[in-house]
Amino acid sequence: MLKDFEFWFVVGSQYLYGPKVLDTVAARAAEMANAMNAGGKLPCKIVYKVTAKTNGEVTELVREANHNDRCAGVITWCHTFSPSKMWINGLSMLQKPYCHLATQYGEAIPNAQIDMDFMNLNQAAHGDREHGFIAARLRLPRKVIAGYWKDEAVQLRLGNWMRAAVGVAVSRNLRVMRFGDNMREVAVTEGDKVEAQIKFGWQVNTWPVGTLAETMDAVTEAEIDSLMAEYRRAYDVAANNEQAIRYQAREEIAMKKMMDEQGCKAFSNTFQDLYGMKQLPGLASQHLMAQGYGYGGEGDWKVAAMTAVMKAMSEGQPGGTAFMEDYTYHLVKGEEFSLGAHMLEVCPSIAANKPRIEVHPLGIGDREDPARLVFEGRAGKAIVVSMVDMGGRFRLICQDIECFKPPMDMPNLPVARVTWRPMPSLAAGIECWITAGGAHHTTLSYDVTAEQMRDWAAMMGIEFVHISKDSTPEKLEDDLFLKDLAWKLR
């Protein structure tokens, strides 16, 4: 899917320097795009489009970028000086993500060769400042990345931004299928679906659980056999209850059919509405998440959508991204951690070991014992992300966490589990999270970074709150107070 998108490289210049300089600029821009593509650090292709010298060229380029589905963003750079008034008409109508790569063709200043001709050709240092001013003046959301374009770290940052921009493209086309409504009386999983569609493009709609039950009835034994074989390849099977696992396969096939028919890449359900179903989907939801579908429990369509978006952003990366819930704390001094899990539905993409299918009773939902995947989450740095509706606007909260191998085996806990320390510490991290209004449901990712979520939120035009090792509850409270005022004025 990342391969379906490309980024357009637009280089600013002007007619002042004559055709020889412009030819050199164009040749170098093409060379840079080709070399960065060949370098293998970027998840999507860069396409050099034009050396922009006039208002008309910029406007034409932006018009094309806006309507081209393959174009997931525009990357600009000024090899020479490019007077910015000629960018105003185009940039003010730009609807695609925008990155200003403040770089330079040559790495070093050539001591002996440098003269005024060299200076006129290589003046990104002030050309990029003129270019930056107009985006600042226009209040455009944009990413600024500075450094030498061949530098791996620079290409890595550009690649990470590309992934965030793909998250924008995916978001704009995302459809979420809700099976049943929100869990009764729960507040944080509610939200304004009209505002969500305006801001993010999410089409969030409901389908009857009865239709899902009918679709399940129509699933054939042969279809179930085939999915069972896939389960056995991917997972260990510890359960002695084959029929319960087959029932999850039936649920998975039916949900997938309904989602694929409607072009949905995310779904939510609730244990309070399982009309006509014998088990709460566990393994079924987990294996759908493993295939890239976003999921949210208890009707939480916001976390379902965020999980789908973040899975798309991190496509092909090794860490994994999952629906998660802070469940229980270990508060012993010096050992503090948070235990994350869910009733059933954690994505096996984050598993440290081969997940095991088990069948156990579930105290909630009043249905038969559901099959589910049991595993431990992997160790490593990660983030947890929560989108909340503040009334009039959305707030995206992102916290840095450090996951580690669970220090206990918890033999009587038959669900997937992850243990982590939130930043800056368990207690201060909880205080920050609760102060910001973060939900119990999150999307946990080992691949997506806080910088990418900040970029995504900026491109989406929503508030972003980052809780990191440098956060304190007091500072955060002051920041939130000021942000609240600022967002009311926008």
| CA gap 91, 204 in Å, rounded | 31
The residue among 181 and 479 lying less far from Mn ion, judged by its C-beta, is: 181
Residue nearest to Mn ion (CB): 297
The residue among 252 and 325 lying less far from Mn ion, judged by its C-beta, is: 325
Looking at 41-49, 254-262, 295-303, 345-353, which segment touches Mn ion (CB under 5 A)? 295-303
Please tell me whether residue 97 binds Mn ion under the rule CB under 5 A: no
Show contacts with Mn ion in window 321-350 (CB under 5 A): 325
Owner of token pair 């991204």: 321
Name the minimum Å distance from CB 464 to Mn ion.
24
Query: Site map for Mn ion, 244-283, x if CB under 5 A?
Result: ----------------------------------------
Is residue 329 within 8 A of residue 339, CB to CB? The reply is yes
The residue among 346 and 371 lying less far from Mn ion, judged by its C-beta, is: 346
Name the minimum Å distance from CB 297 to Mn ion.
4
The residue among 87 and 433 lying less far from Mn ion, judged by its C-beta, is: 433
Count of Cβ atoms closer than 10 Å to residue 309 Cβ: 31
Please tell me whether residue 297 binds Mn ion under the rule CB under 5 A: yes
Name the minimum Å distance from CB 71 to Mn ion.
38
Looking at 230-238, 293-301, 309-317, 443-451, which segment touches Mn ion (CB under 5 A)? 293-301
Looking at 134-142, 172-180, 191-199, 290-298, which segment touches Mn ion (CB under 5 A)? 290-298
Looking at 134-142, 294-302, 327-335, 364-372, which segment touches Mn ion (CB under 5 A)? 294-302
Looking at 108-116, 319-327, 389-397, 431-439, which segment touches Mn ion (CB under 5 A)? 319-327
Name the minimum Å distance from CB 346 to Mn ion.
11
Q: Which of 427, 439, 366 shows the shortest CA–CA distance to 397?
A: 439
Strand order in 45-52's β-sheet? 45-52, 6-12, 71-78, 98-102, 143-146
The residue among 304 and 430 lying less far from Mn ion, judged by its C-beta, is: 304
Q: Which amino acid is at 352?
A: A
Name the minimum Å distance from CB 104 to Mn ion.
50
Is residue 486 within 8 A of residue 395, CB to CB? The reply is no
Give how many residues touch Mn ion by CB under 5 A: 3
The residue among 239 and 343 lying less far from Mn ion, judged by its C-beta, is: 343
Is residue 136 within 8 A of residue 180, CB to CB? The reply is no
The residue among 327 and 487 lying less far from Mn ion, judged by its C-beta, is: 327
Name the minimum Å distance from CB 342 to Mn ion.
6
Name the minimum Å distance from CB 340 to Mn ion.
11
| CA gap 37, 46 in Å, rounded | 6
Please tell me whether residue 429 binds Mn ion under the rule CB under 5 A: no
The residue among 93 and 434 lying less far from Mn ion, judged by its C-beta, is: 434
The residue among 373 and 480 lying less far from Mn ion, judged by its C-beta, is: 373
Which residues lie closer than 8 Å to 392 by C-beta, 6 or more apart? 487, 488
| CA gap 274, 207 in Å, rounded | 13
Name the minimum Å distance from CB 26 to Mn ion.
55
Name the minimum Å distance from CB 442 to Mn ion.
10
The residue among 325 and 400 lying less far from Mn ion, judged by its C-beta, is: 325
Residues binding Mn ion (CB under 5 A): 297-298, 325
